[in-house]
A and B are shown apart, each in its own frame.
Chain A
Amino acid sequence: AQSVTQLDSQVPVFEEAPVELRCNYSSSVSVYLFWYVQYPNQGLQLLLKYLSGSTLVKGINGFEAEFNKSQTSFHLRKPSVHISDTAEYFCAVRDYSSASKIIFGSGTRLSIRP
């Protein structure tokens, strides 16, 4: 069965600084990987996804993530954050064999300091 680990529950950074949110997964088969963002009291929206092809994927709002199969990681990065990036970020995995089952990590709360 697949699982997702987000090691950092909270990440505080200063505005305009770079940030990396870590995500590791475990699965016995090939996977699809996702990052979602949740603003306060809202549902989740997709930031970016890795399905196949290039291991570096770019998403909305200047975010990008790199799929590393050997390290089973899919870390999210942004070179310069803004106050508006304050939100909770979730990594998710769907493996090829489990049909529609999609599992989420525990989330990382990103707080931006001016």
Chain B
Amino acid sequence: DGGITQSPKYLFRKEGQNVTLSCEQNLNHDAMYWYRQDPGQGLRLIYYSQIVNDFQKGDIAEGYSVSREKKESFPLTVTSAQKNPTAFYLCASLPGQGKGANVLTFGAGSRLTVL
């Protein structure tokens, strides 16, 4: 079955370390997204990418970096510059056209805890 795989599901890191969260999709979707979820703040957009080798900053990109070298993959790196990285991170994708063109498909999320 097609879908989005995020790994790891849980991640613990020490303060000051960079961490990379994986997001892989086999839906052949064009666009991919990273959101951060904190209690009471909903989902906030970190980065998104509409095509390979191109991506745009969302509303809270500071302290994060991404790459889009392959259509299926959109990894997110949480750098040491991110002041409060402990959160639930959600990856999503969107087809470029067709019946489901406006509907995001989400992964199950990665919970990052910085100690």
A residues in contact (CB < 8 Å) with B: 6, 9, 32, 34, 36, 41-46, 49, 51, 90, 92, 94, 99-107
Q: Determine whether the beta carbon of A104 is less than 8 Å from that of B42.
A: yes
Question: Which of B67-75, B78-86, B104-112 contacts its partner?
Answer: B104-112
- Given A42, A49, A101, A104, which contacts B103 in the complex, CB threshold below 8 Å? A49
Our count of residue pairs bridging A and B at CB distance below 8 angstroms stands at: 61
Q: Determine whether the beta carbon of B104 is less than 8 Å from that of A6.
A: no
Q: Determine whether the beta carbon of B35 is less than 8 Å from that of A104.
A: yes
The size of the chain B interface, using a CB distance under 8 A, is: 25
* Interface check B45, CB cutoff 8 A: yes
Q: Determine whether the beta carbon of B50 is less than 8 Å from that of A99.
A: yes
- Given B41, B43, B45, B103, which contacts A46 in the complex, CB threshold below 8 Å? B103
Contacts of B44 in A (CB 8 A): 104
Q: Determine whether the beta carbon of A102 is less than 8 Å from that of B40.
A: no
Contacts of B4 in A (CB 8 A): 43
> A90-B42, A100-B31 are contacts. A43–B102 as well, Cβ < 8 Å?
no
Q: Determine whether the beta carbon of B48 is less than 8 Å from that of A100.
A: yes
Q: Determine whether the beta carbon of B104 is less than 8 Å from that of A44.
A: yes
Q: Add 19 more A-B contacts to A34-B102, A103-B45 (CB < 8 A).
A: A32-B102, A34-B104, A43-B90, A43-B106, A43-B107, A44-B43, A44-B104, A44-B106, A45-B106, A49-B103, A90-B42, A99-B50, A100-B33, A101-B56, A101-B58, A102-B33, A102-B104, A104-B42, A105-B42
Contacts of B107 in A (CB 8 A): 43
* Interface check B94, CB cutoff 8 A: yes
Bound-state Cα–Cα, A39 to B42, Å: 14
